[in-house]
Structure 1
């Protein structure tokens, strides 16, 4: 490709037009690209653009006239430097008679032939035809000679190699946002990058087979990947670039804003020069090039140009990755050429990906030093905190949010651990969003108050239409000091805190609304009638996501004792007709025979990393099902049974957040009562479940038998036995699940003394198992002596002994445990280790 810069004086505009009139038809048949300053866009810095084009284009065609020779700019900034520095091939076109042979131009072979000015030709068309043909042929000849020289250089072992320049290498490792990390002074992208999952949007979105990792070999080579704001689009583009480079390809990165016309070679050549050393390297096989375009939708070209670009990319390059915002998806529907590309969307980080990111974060700066026990223990602590914040998409599970929370939790530890409490994380996220938009520090508090009061107006309405916005600001500016920005709504939209929906303005993410609505409620709790009405409504509808989350934030914003008392009374009122189930032997002896028939547990030798991966995948599926169920629960009345069950679960989670956030400031007796009522509520629900399970046992068995009877390989007796076992397995599973749920919801590392008080006052099997599960879940500590004591305690309680065994064995699959400790556990719980079990089987077989 011959790239030609056309230099002329603006007084000679007509000569330029004459040249292009005769040259353009020939250009279409050759590999010539011509640029002149007429192609500048409105608003361009014309001097800067001209200088950049001179760097990009290595040949200069000069229209020589007296005006040209007299031009200060041309001599000082265009042709003059090109001649002086010998950086370009200069081709003079003599159009008007002048003294060009007395200038530095005399060293160049000029057109027309012999340098006879076009002005002197009797047939001007013949002169321009000769110039156009000679120029086209000459440029083609030059290009062929250059190819021969490159080929010869390769044969002689002197070929220049493309090498990524230092600026590009640095950019590939830079994070878009600075994150404080306790181990890594400079955190790089390679330290913490986790490949996201993407999902095909041209196939069935509900089909899990359409979800695939972003770097899978199964993905097509030509694709468009869409992503919402802050989903990691630019980061993905960088890593795609790096991956292509590692595979020996020549990746070229562009941003959509770099694309100003449909001529792809123009902007690809420019990108090649800016990203590599030796950018004059001749790429003989175009299939070696990989195109990566970030923010493709921002190029701002019309439909015809976009279609032309997509078509050219598809037909000329076998590897094309276009990354764009969700908004461009709707534009692409009108682009015929977009059908050439498979389309995908970046998914939020599910449980498995969040766990990978957390482990990468912890390992950053000490990958070769950190031991598994430290890695997984710390990872689970951070995951517990993270899940309580991003679960169910209250905070979008997107990389910037998760990394911000990890940064806050990792850097603020020890004495400042209270800063990582639930509410403080959200407050930090909001402040960060405001600061990113360059809102001055003195205006931050004004914006926080503005958002608080706006949430009060939106509370109960969900959004504000244009009239509502006007009414709000009329009211606000009378009561409070106005913010200095001319258009605060637009500023908050830029901060990604507000968005305009179909019904008006609303908070962009649920967490922002919950946080500020709770702050507004907390500010108005001085009004008794308001407090009673609002808190009662929130507690009555605790099964709804909005009410549960707002109430969590109310406990963060307010130190009101009355609110905690109301939460406690709500707990006491749930399943209040039911007694607490202590899991004494006489309460659950009906499943003893069944448990005896279950094959004994074996402590298998498993790879901890694989075990954690499998568990994360299972929990991710459970999260997805929970979100589906939550949509159903949202529509239920508070008296519906499913709503009551959800309410009890959220009540325990609420208390857990209060305990974790305010353990250091709440009186000990208040903490004890909150924890006691939470655990008792869970155990009352368990009694309720066991009661209705026993009452409806026959009906449940008949339902299971109907399903099993469809299997022709089972006899009637076998169907009956299988049905009974399925029923008992379900019952046992619920008991095990409730123990785990209570311990995970209410437990934390800050309130050991209270949990000890609970066990001392209520030394019953259920409380003992909950306490033991808390130790495993929140402290990742397996106390062998404690295991021995409980195994003696549950010697005659087969069901609780079985639960104890499962808790311990599951822990050994999730965390590395030394062999000698496993041997002690095996002896205490009568669980054979895997190799022992095989030996026993082999002995029996002989």
Structure 2
């Protein structure tokens, strides 16, 4: 058997594989999915950011009874290009040792197979010999090592003599230390034999030529943000890192989603010679480039990392050689320079720190392009080399590092909780899911609507702050503590301000923010800044202007833009500090007038957010009373909907309910997948809305639209105050606030119903007047009617969701019930039921009562069923409980075709 015999097609191999059909059927039954016969297959497993690949070589594809040593053939050429070795650990598994392969072919199949296996494998496991062996193979030329193990068969031999055993391998993917535990049948039990310890070489040492300096790799993998966990474990970057998305800024495509890519693609992609990634100060540029460096080693590359500040002249060899000596340990820089460019990647961190002008930078990059297959660069978002590079260089990708979207934000939170869990293997899937959801919602509360960009450092800082405060006590002081911690961290860690001076700088920032707010300004010039400092210094002790300015710029809390204006780096800093000042004067006439002004203009994002932050700083009842009043004003003349069977809103949408009747529940949904799909949808929606972000001109808007914005904002503000302050507000006041929040939502829906009714009639008459045929007029009226009904129903669900997200909290369940009982309408009962199932376990007895009450109310029943389906799809619910829930609602529980029990090999 040789390559000529098997030919270019796979017909010979496919024919021989037929006899193995029982094995492939067995594998299919285990995996729950069809497995096609093959001579090579990969099994990939992702273990907490570490990728392990099992390479299964079917060396028995042409095996026969009474075969001879050297009689088999394995077609390496047919599979070698498909082998993926980009893993933390590569384990090769096969039955026949290479000695069974034919050494007399033109290529020497025995040597060909051994050379391939040993070139990439960390561990090799084979059978057939039925004898336990363990050895280490070292290539003296490349210093590549792999551990080779063989074992006994788990069976009796033909002579009925006991000869049976098995082995267990445990490998720590972090320190790469492994243990082999052999077991042998002693006639009674399988007894453990002497264990064998082995140590796999570090990643970077098993590359063919250049060995990475492990101390340097370890420094890249260190977490720069200190994270404290329950067991004081030391967290590495790779344990928690999530690759951010990149927004393309050059050569924009027409399709929206084509302008956004995952940053991980640049490690293996060869589409671009130069990749330039710009990012804000806290966007995680250095962490991104460090992770790319580490992962490029898994892609069999020999990367080099250099900081932009190392390029002070046009000389490139000296800084490159210095970087090489620091990062590699077994060969010379000259050997590296002469090595194939295809295997080399250059990473330049903070190109903006290079002491070169734009022309020199371009010349420098042209020189470097001749030395590396790819250059990946990070730079400041205000660095002006980007536009020059875009216009003068081909094969270049320019992009902006984006904050984490909803899906990736959720993944980061999952990573955090897995690392923080004392025993991650004992926690149930549902409890872990609930912890992730709770943290996600709390993080969302902190991030707000564009208050804080969801860069990993902010998300992790928020999680860390919540972890350090008293558990389950996220009220005013706790939320305030988290925001305060972010500001404190920026001053202490970034600006290196002494702890005893932190209060001085926070007070300075608060007065500066309030001064801008009072003057209705967003930024100030250098002269205005100096004037403010002069006035401030007359009332408070403060360092010199130069020292304060430089420290605040160094912290990133204050930014000096390219137009030479000073402004706060992020909205949350400005709003938080303005609110801090307002809270100190809330008992004064000026403070109360400010609160009244903010409530009157609650539809404006800036004012709404400042109100939320004031609630973080103050417990004054005046603030609560004013926000309740603000929520009552919009649509105070509109009757709130009730969703009673014969109510006006039900009459408006009753036809569409029958049109989209859905009484089927899927039985085997995966809550994680459902959650990911939901988060992906939110990400896509935000991308669509991204280009529509502008400040509304409320002065020129109709009063009804302003009232609508005020109503929606009131839901958010009152909800936030309730959640943040639930531990310091009386139950009676909480009841009053939640009741008014419900009624505001119901009046808002009622307002839309009124608008829809009049608009629908006007539009129908207008279009029908242009049509002559009677049947066409009837069809037009029906279509317009269904369109407006669908829009109204979706709007109703949207407002319900707004209430659930705004005020939802598991600690307030009794109050939600009390409010629903007091209002005593289907709408109120549905809202309270929805909140409780979103933030807790569904009660089947309560579901039965609601079903009985809504059985003859199609609209209320449709909303109830939708809420229950959402609960079932987004939580781990046992099958028998799903059956009881489906039976209660008289819905069908089905298992869709094509769903596999296991979705990943």
Alpha-carbon separation, structure 2, partners of 1:485 and 1:686: 53
Tell me which moved more, 536-545 or 630-639: 630-639
TM-score of the pair, normalised by structure 1: 0.75
1:451 and 2:509 matched: yes
Going from structure 1 to structure 2, the CA distance change for 1:416 and 1:677 (only over 3 Å counts) comes to closer
TM-score of the pair, normalised by structure 2: 0.70
How many angstroms does 1:428 deviate by? 1.6
Going from structure 1 to structure 2, the CA distance change for 1:447 and 1:599 (only over 3 Å counts) comes to same
Tell me which moved more, 587-596 or 412-421: 412-421
The correspondence for 1:746, drawn from 787, 807, 811, is 807
How many angstroms does 1:806 deviate by? 0.5
Corresponding position of 2:403: 348
Pairing 1:610-625 to 2, within 5 Å after superposition: 610-624=673-687
Going from structure 1 to structure 2, the CA distance change for 1:563 and 1:834 (only over 3 Å counts) comes to same
Pairing 1:558-573 to 2, within 5 Å after superposition: 558-573=618-633
Corresponding position of 2:456: 399
Corresponding position of 1:223: 275
Alpha-carbon separation, structure 2, partners of 1:456 and 1:634: 23
In the TM superposition, what whole-angstrom CA distance separates every residue of 1:320-346 from its partner, at most 9, and x where no partner exists? 211222233446617976445221211
Alpha-carbon separation, structure 1, partners of 2:320 and 2:851: 70
The correspondence for 2:260, drawn from 194, 197, 211, is 211
1:287 and 2:342 matched: yes
Alpha-carbon separation, structure 2, partners of 1:647 and 1:170: 53
Corresponding position of 1:272: 324
Alpha-carbon separation, structure 1, partners of 2:444 and 2:525: 34
Query: Contact 1:181–1:411 at 8 Å: present in 2 too?
Result: no
Alpha-carbon separation, structure 2, partners of 1:584 and 1:689: 17
How many angstroms does 1:756 deviate by? 2.5
List alignment gaps of at least 5 residues for structure 2. Answer: 1-138, 146-206, 899-905
Pairing 1:401-480 to 2, within 5 Å after superposition: 401-414=458-471, 416-418=473-475, 421-436=478-493, 437-459=495-517, 460-480=520-540
Structure with higher Rg: it is 1
Alpha-carbon separation, structure 2, partners of 1:156 and 1:831: 65
In the TM superposition, what whole-angstrom CA distance separates every residue of 1:722-755 from its partner, at most 9, and x where no partner exists? 4332222222212222222112212223323322
Alpha-carbon separation, structure 1, partners of 2:688 and 2:445: 17
Instruction: Give the number of equivalent residue pairs.
Output: 680
Pairing 1:594-609 to 2, within 5 Å after superposition: 594-604=656-666, 605-609=668-672
In the TM superposition, what whole-angstrom CA distance separates every residue of 1:597-620 from its partner, at most 9, and x where no partner exists? 324232123333332222112222
Alpha-carbon separation, structure 2, partners of 1:183 and 1:413: 18
List alignment gaps of at least 5 residues for structure 1. Answer: 1-151, 839-846
Tell me which moved more, 565-574 or 468-477: 468-477
Alpha-carbon separation, structure 1, partners of 2:694 and 2:765: 30
In the TM superposition, what whole-angstrom CA distance separates every residue of 1:496-545 from its partner, at most 9, and x where no partner exists? 111224473221211111111111112222322x1343122211111111
Task: Report SS of the residue matched to 1:751.
Answer: helix
1:327 and 2:390 matched: no
Corresponding position of 2:239: 191
The correspondence for 1:778, drawn from 839, 844, 864, is 839
CA RMSD after TM alignment: 3.0
Alpha-carbon separation, structure 1, partners of 2:406 and 2:240: 16
The correspondence for 2:556, drawn from 496, 501, 506, is 496
Alpha-carbon separation, structure 2, partners of 1:797 and 1:160: 72
In the TM superposition, what whole-angstrom CA distance separates every residue of 1:8-61 from its partner, at most 9, and x where no partner exists? xxxxxxxxxxxxxxxxxxxxxxxxxxxxxxxxxxxxxxxxxxxxxxxxxxxxxx
Corresponding position of 2:313: 261
Name the one with the larger helix percent.
1
Alpha-carbon separation, structure 1, partners of 2:719 and 2:769: 42
How many angstroms does 1:422 deviate by? 3.7
Query: Contact 2:477–2:616 at 8 Å: present in 1 too?
Result: no
How many angstroms does 1:552 deviate by? 0.9
Query: Contact 1:543–1:634 at 8 Å: present in 2 too?
Result: no
Corresponding position of 1:766: 827
Query: Contact 1:256–1:293 at 8 Å: present in 2 too?
Result: yes
Alpha-carbon separation, structure 2, partners of 1:411 and 1:300: 42
Going from structure 1 to structure 2, the CA distance change for 1:577 and 1:635 (only over 3 Å counts) comes to closer
Query: Contact 1:433–1:497 at 8 Å: present in 2 too?
Result: yes
Query: Contact 2:634–2:708 at 8 Å: present in 1 too?
Result: no
Name the one with the larger strand percent.
2
How many angstroms does 1:394 deviate by? 0.9
1:723 and 2:784 matched: yes
Task: Report SS of the residue matched to 2:306.
Answer: strand
How many angstroms does 1:826 deviate by? 0.8
Query: Contact 2:816–2:832 at 8 Å: present in 1 too?
Result: yes
